[in-house]
């Protein structure tokens, strides 16, 4: 689905995929979460709509415009392909496509409208590809997995940036009820909030069909099985959304990227039919960070920032996972 968070999430998912496909010591630590609803799925297609919310923004750190996001549509397609699967190592390729559509209203400019960096960029396409290598061994007598990910991203117009990440995770505890892991990820990514990100996961079976699932910095969820083929989850997920914009104005460079960090809190319902999983999500989305940077820059060098009021969202999707 991100981009530094995409690398981190891809690493966590690669751990899950590896545990699914190889009967190594690590599989005992992951088999409890790779049941009928694994977090890593071969193909996933999701449509999301966010309902109206107000926003205000700054350009070059000065008040610029405010108004309403009347409607926002998002379509995301994710493909995870295991390339090579061995007993101790694996290679996986992931491809992400995301489409964003924005409809704004009641816009009031406090600055020059001709400097609007978004211009006619209401339809936005984002494409990313990552190849990851995972290797499992033992450290301090416990299962450990290491991962290196390399990727590129961009839009339908151009390839924009190279991404790289490496990570290691140690299985601290793994029994019939509880799995605890901890690790560290280091990434090379101009869009990253931090070059170093800690990873912590906890899965605890409160009851056989009632699970606490924590994966920092990705999610905190409580999951309840409903019958044999469905599940209801309640909790929060941290999502990263990046897309590139092309102002085509003399005052700006050729390309910029818009980075959003969103906290989504609500319900998820999933139903499995053979190799297909149908799901729906609804709740409240809170945009924690929303900034525009010149491509290749990061940190305090943003030129545009916005504050969005929380808004409700609904999404529906289908996954294929044989």
Stated pTM of the model: 0.84
Q: Percentage of the chain surpassing pLDDT 70?
A: 88
Q: Calculate mean pLDDT across residues 79-92.
A: 92
Find where tokens 């891809």 sit: 10
E-strand stretches of 121-209? 123-139, 142-154, 159-174, 178-188, 196-207
Q: What separation in angstroms does the CA of 75 have from each of 127, 198, 282, 304?
A: 12, 29, 15, 24
Q: Calculate mean pLDDT across residues 229-251.
A: 92
CA 196 and chain centroid, separation = 17
Confidence of residue 191 (pLDDT cuts 50, 70, 90): low
Q: Calculate mean pLDDT across residues 113-142.
A: 89
The count of C-alpha atoms lying within 13 angstroms of the C-alpha of 120, restricted to the half-sphere facing its C-beta, is 2
Q: What is the CA radius of gyration of the chain?
A: 20
Q: 131: cis peptide before it, omega within 30°?
A: no
Please tell me the predicted confidence (pLDDT) of residue 35: 62
Q: Calculate mean pLDDT across residues 208-226.
A: 91
SS3 category, 319: strand
Please tell me the predicted confidence (pLDDT) of residue 298: 78
> How do residues 286-320 score in pLDDT, each as one tens digit?
999 999 999 988 777 899 999 999 999 999 999 99
> How do residues 250-288 score in pLDDT, each as one tens digit?
889 999 999 999 999 999 999 999 999 999 999 999 999
Please tell me the predicted confidence (pLDDT) of residue 3: 42
């Amino acid at each position: 689905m991100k981009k530094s968070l995409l690398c981190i999430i891809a690493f966590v998912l690669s751990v899950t995929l590896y545990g699914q496909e190889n009967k190594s010591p690590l599989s005992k630590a992951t088999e409890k979460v790779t049941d009928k609803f694994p977090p890593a799925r071969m193909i996933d297609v999701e449509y999301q709509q966010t309902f109206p919310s107000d926003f205000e923004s700054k350009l070059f750190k000065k008040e610029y415009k405010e108004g309403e996001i009347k409607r926002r549509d998002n379509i995301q397609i994710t493909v995870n392909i295991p390339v090579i699967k061995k007993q101790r190592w694996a290679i996986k390729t992931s491809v992400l496509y995301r489409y964003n559509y924005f409809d704004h209203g009641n816009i009031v400019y406090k600055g020059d409208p001709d400097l609007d960096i978004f211009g006619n960029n209401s339809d936005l396409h984002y494409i990313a590809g990552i190849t990851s290598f995972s290797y499992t061994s033992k450290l301090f007598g416990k299962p450990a997995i290491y991962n290196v990910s390399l990727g590129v991203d961009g839009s339908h117009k151009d390839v924009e940036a190279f991404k790289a990440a490496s990570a290691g995770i140690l299985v601290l505890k793994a029994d019939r009820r509880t799995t605890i892991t901890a690790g560290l990820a280091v990434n090379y990514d101009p869009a990253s909030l931090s070059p170093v990100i800690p990873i912590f996961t906890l899965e605890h079976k409160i009851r056989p069909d009632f699970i606490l699932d924590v994966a920092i910095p990705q999610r905190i969820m409580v999951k309840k099985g409903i019958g044999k083929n469905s599940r209801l989850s309640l909790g929060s997920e941290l999502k990263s959304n990046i897309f590139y914009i092309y102002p085509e104005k003399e005052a700006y460079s050729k390309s910029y990227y818009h980075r959003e960090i969103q906290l989504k809190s609500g319900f998820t319902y999933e139903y499995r039919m053979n190799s297909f999983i149908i799901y729906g999500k609804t709740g409240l989305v809170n945009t924690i960070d929303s900034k525009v940077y010149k491509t290749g820059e990061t940190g305090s060098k943003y030129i545009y920032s916005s504050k969005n009021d929380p808004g409700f969202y609904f999404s529906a999707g289908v996954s294929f996972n044989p």
